[in-house]
Each structure stands twice: as C-alpha cells, then as structure tokens.
Amino acid sequence: MQFYDFSFDIDELSTKPNCVRKNYMGTSAKMVVILCLFLFLGMVLPGIFFQPEASLEVWNVQESDYPSNSSSEERLTYLLNYTILAPSSYNSQPWKFNVSNDEIFVFADESGWLSVADKDKREMYISLGCAIENLVIAAEHFGYNCSVSYFPGEKDLVAAVSLKQQPEAGSSSSALFDAITSRRTSRQPFESRVISRQDLDALNRSSSCSDVSIFLTEDPAAKERFRDLVIQADRVLYSDINYKSELGHWLSLGVMGPTGVGAKIAQMEMVFLDPVPEQIRRDADLINSTPYIGLITTKKNDSLSALKVGRAFERFWLAAAARGISLQPISQALEVPETKEELTGLLSDGAEMRTVQQAFRLGYCEEEGERSNRRPLVDALEKNEK
C-alpha cells in the first residue's frame, strides 16, 4: 500500500518563486475541495440509503379492518396500529410492544431516547404514556376491559396492559377513538378567538386524574413570561453543539419533516448554521398568537408520574382534536434547568402539584397541521421466542 505525504514546510514555500508557490497552493486547494467532497458524500449518501423506513401510510388504518374473527393475538396486534399514532418527543417513537395471550407489554426503546435534550428521560416516558392511552382508548372502543400495571419488573418494561374481551360488547362510537387518526400537531399561529367555557370544562373533565393537574392560562402577563422563558431556553439549547448534533441526527432520519436529501440538508443546516434568530422569531410569533398556554403538573417527579402525564396529556389532546381545537407541545423551557424551575412561577397560588412536566399552547388554527412520518408497526413489534 502506498502512502502520500501532503505536508510541506511553510518557510520553504515562502522562499520559492511565485510560479512554484502558485503550484503548491493550487494543489493544496484542489485537495481541500476533493476532501470536502468526499466528506460531504460520506455524510449524505449513507444517510439517504440507510434512513429507517418511515411514511404516512400507518395513518390510513381503518376500523372496518379489525380482525374480529381472528385469533386473540391478531386482534390485539391490530390495536397497536392505533397505539403507534401517539405523539412522541421529536417524533422519536421510543416504544416496542410484545403481544402474549391477553396482554400487551409496552417497552421503552432507548434507541429513541434523546440523551442531550431529555437527560432525565421525562419526555421519553411522557411519549410512552401517550402510546398507552391510545392503546387503552382503542381497546375499549373494540369492546375490551383494560387493566394497566406500571413497571412490572423486567428491564425496559414500562407497562403490562391486560385486555379482557366482553362477550356481548361490540364497537361503539367514540369521539376520542375517532380523534386518534385525526389528531395533528399545529405549528402555525392560532386565531385570536377564545375557547368557550363549555369546551374548556369538557377538556378538563376528559383528562381528570388524581395524580396529574392541567393548568390553563390566558393571562397576558403569564403568556409573555412563558414566551421569554422559551426564548431564553432557545438561546441556551442552540448554543450547545451536542444538542444541535443530536437534533440534526433526528432530522437526518426523516421522521421530523423532510426525507431523503432534504433530511440530510436539514441536518447540516442545524449543525453548521446558526438557527437561533429564526427559532426565536418563530417561537415568539407562535406564543404571541396563542389564546391559552397550558402546563401539566404532578406532585412527584419520577418516571411513573411522567407516564401518567403522558396518558392525561394524550386524552386531553384527543378531546381537543374532537372539538376542532388545535394544540402544540412546547418543551424547550423544560429542557433547561433554570427555565424549568421558573415555569412554576406561572402556576396559580396554592397549586398543590408544583412539578411542571409538560407545556403546550392551545387555540384554533385555520390550517390543519401535517401528519408526521411514522415507522411501520412491524418495526415496533418484538416477537415471542418459540
């Protein structure tokens, strides 16, 4: 094997005639261009050819396709088509499922954990809670009684869902069930019109849970303070190269918007450019247009609390979608310790649950949000060992 030495002596080069110096510099510039080209192709081509399969196809699940005359395992597996439509942090879809007899086991897939943005796994467990809630709603719609056991003991196993088919139960209409396939994340400015008190009360009732509290505010001062905390968090997060690299990686996978070449370009823009001014402008515009800011709180700050937050959050979101109300999670201020601590200042005096787990904006939007690309169900299934 032959090796080439591209080093040179600066002092020697400075004493060469102009024509020789030009030849040295020309060769060096060509090598830089060639190396940059190889680096670029090395980043882009593997990312395109080895992107995980993701599409909008899973959103086309049809209630009429439920295999009512098939085996119990096939029926329970079918319910997971609705489970994987749950929202997740950065669309990371951090879940795996195993169907066994009359149980569905929900596992945390740590390949979907964003270790920089979500150091304590709070967002990962909230995402898993959203998936569990979708599963329970879909199962009840098709006539099952559900019982959920949290953290039964096995590593990465976050819940065991036992399902019992009711002999005479048939599928019934359900606004929450129908909203599973119509729910979107709204990333556009909201209209200024307020939500009726009747709808607000219905939203609060839909997600009632003794361990979780949802706080809504339309107070201008509170919204302004929330906006300032989000902007402060944006500056901290996007000045961290590790955060930008992690976010760029998830953009490159094609699950956060663009796919193919567009996903790789989005990754390089995130890593090599400065997104702070545009991110701040966008977030400020969105929050300024928002009639309501929401905070979800708990007494404790542990993984079980995050799971319960996810279930309550998803139920609230589905109830909102069923009423034509739009929602967008906003997590930046919770990913920076200083701004997360200050979020409690937005809560009403005397609030018992003071640990803020999730923030969001709520209102009406003329433009319907876009569906997000999802991996196929088969990728989330763990097969039973024979």
pLDDT digits (tens, 9 = 90+) for 251-268: 998 888 788 888 889 899
Q: What is the mean pLDDT of residues 154-169?
A: 88
Query: Please, are residues 292 and 363 in contact by the beta-carbon 8 Å criterion?
Result: yes
Lowest mean pLDDT among 14-18, 210-214, 238-242, 290-294: 14-18
Q: What is the mean pLDDT of residues 360-378?
A: 91
Q: 121-152: per-residue pLDDT in tens?
A: 999 999 999 999 999 999 999 999 999 999 99
Half-sphere exposure of 321 (CA within 13 A, CB side): 24
3-state SS class at 334:
helix
pLDDT higher than threshold 90 for residue 13: no
Q: What is the mean pLDDT of residues 348-355?
A: 81
pLDDT higher than threshold 50 for residue 60: yes
The domain limits of the chain are: 10-49, 61-183+372-380, 197-238+274-363
Q: List strands edge to edge, sheet with 103-108.
A: 95-100, 103-108, 157-165, 144-150
What confidence tier does 49 reach under pLDDT thresholds 50, 70, 90? very low
364 or 16: which leads in pLDDT? 364
Q: What is the mean pLDDT of residues 339-347?
A: 93
What pLDDT, on a 0 to 100 scale, did the predictor assign at position 280? 96
What pLDDT, on a 0 to 100 scale, did the predictor assign at position 210? 85
Query: Please, are residues 326 and 186 in contact by the beta-carbon 8 Å criterion?
Result: yes
Q: What is the mean pLDDT of residues 43-59?
A: 63
Q: 329-341: per-residue pLDDT in tens?
A: 999 999 999 999 9
Q: What is the mean pLDDT of residues 21-49?
A: 53
pLDDT higher than threshold 80 for residue 21: no
Q: What is the mean pLDDT of residues 75-103?
A: 97
What pLDDT, on a 0 to 100 scale, did the predictor assign at position 31? 67
As a 3-state breakdown, the chain gives helix, strand, coil percent values, each rounded to 5, of 50, 15, 35
What pLDDT, on a 0 to 100 scale, did the predictor assign at position 170? 52
3-state SS class at 294:
strand
CA 172 to chain centre: 30
What pLDDT, on a 0 to 100 scale, did the predictor assign at position 353? 82
What pLDDT, on a 0 to 100 scale, did the predictor assign at position 52? 57
What pLDDT, on a 0 to 100 scale, did the predictor assign at position 54? 65
Average pLDDT in the chain: 87
Fold classification of 61-183+372-380 is NADH Oxidase (3.40.109)
The letter for the amino acid at 224 is E
What pLDDT, on a 0 to 100 scale, did the predictor assign at position 168? 64
Please indicate whether the domains covering 61-183+372-380 and 197-238+274-363 agree at the CATH topology level. Answer: yes
Distances 39 to 43, 251, 262, 336 between C-alpha atoms, Å: 6, 19, 18, 33
Give the C-alpha separation, 278 to 290, whole Å. Answer: 19
What pLDDT, on a 0 to 100 scale, did the predictor assign at position 35? 56
Give the C-alpha separation, 114 to 111, whole Å. Answer: 8
What confidence tier does 9 reach under pLDDT thresholds 50, 70, 90? very low
What confidence tier does 321 reach under pLDDT thresholds 50, 70, 90? very high
pLDDT higher than threshold 50 for residue 15: no
Q: What is the mean pLDDT of residues 51-74?
A: 88
Check whether domain 197-238+274-363 has CATH 3.40.50.11710, yes or no = no
Query: Please, are residues 217 and 223 in contact by the beta-carbon 8 Å criterion?
Result: yes
What pLDDT, on a 0 to 100 scale, did the predictor assign at position 369? 82
What confidence tier does 386 reach under pLDDT thresholds 50, 70, 90? very low
- Residue 276 CB coordination number (10 Å): 14
The CA angle 238-265-115, to the nearest 5 degrees, is: 40
Q: What is the mean pLDDT of residues 268-281?
A: 93
Q: 165-208: per-residue pLDDT in tens?
A: 987 655 555 899 999 999 999 999 999 899 999 999 999 888 77
Query: Please, are residues 368 and 184 in contact by the beta-carbon 8 Å criterion?
Result: yes
User: What is the token pair recorded at 137?
Assistant: 């709603």
